[in-house]
Amino acid sequence: MKIGYFQFAPVFGDVESNRSRIADAVRQSDAELLVVPELATSGYFFSSSAEVREMAETIPGPTTDALSKAASYTGSTIITGLPERDGENFYNSAVVVGPNGIIGTYRKVHLFNEEKNHFSSGEDGFLLFQLNGIKVGVLICFDHMFPEAARTLTLKGAQIVCHPSNLVLPEYGQLTSRVRALENRIFWILSNRWGHESAHGQCLCYTGASQVVDPKGKVLIRAESSSDEISAVEIDPSLALDKKVTPLNDLMEDRKPEFYL
């Protein structure tokens, strides 16, 4: 199975152009599973909730339509971040789209910093879906700081976790994605953006360095910190079914939930 990421710098507010760039990347990639950054259609650093309202879209909507069309040519499955509108509620969401349309939507559970001013937290838990018999989970950015999130998906059978992100804390996500992959014996696709955005007199610098990590915490491919990149690598998802650290230690079987708060 070939999995990968599209790392780029979305232009804040230029939804149509960002959407087009994502669709073009899908057509260029040979990945069966391609992950795109968090809020990739809109950009990230909103100065007001009015901007979220202006750029948010429904699911299904224009982005899912465009990506489903692109996927119909390639047979691939895409996960991209976008601001979702559901009635009068707004979510930092990641949508999973394949050749036959929408597979699922994940609404970010752990909101970071000023996201709390603009979005509602997701209440449906962490998304798990099947792709050709392989179980795939979805988290978004700051979710990586909560080990329980990745462990929950692992306990549900996830072999791959897809992680659309807009990371601004240097090396945090690149480090934790390796740790989460190692401690759960899963594959991890971190798709992070790069570039800068300004609002409120502040500037955010995104760290790029998207990567794919194997179940032993090894980085299989990694992007540069400040460039567009479409990359993919061949993996054997069955390796994520082996939870043994030694012949006598299985990471899932050795758990002692009765001692955990």
Q: Tell me which residues are annotated as active site.
A: 38, 108, 141
Buried-state track 225-244, b at ≥16 Cβ within 10 A, e below 16: beebbbbbbebebeebeebe
Alpha-carbon distances of 209 from 94, 186, 251, rounded to whole Å: 20, 19, 28
Name every residue whose Cβ is closer than 8 Å to that of residue 48 and which is 6 or more positions away in sequence.
none
The span from the CA of 36 to the CA of 195, in Å, is: 15
**Does residue 215 have a cis bond before it (omega within 30 degrees)?**
no
The span from the CA of 155 to the CA of 148, in Å, is: 10
Name every residue whose Cβ is closer than 8 Å to that of residue 240 and which is 6 or more positions away in sequence.
158, 159, 160, 185, 186, 187, 215
Q: Of all helices (H) and strands (E), which one includes residue 109?
A: none
Select from 81, 84, 74 the least CA-distant residue to 33: 74
Q: Of all helices (H) and strands (E), which one includes residue 180?
A: helix 172-184
Beta bridge partners of 229: 7
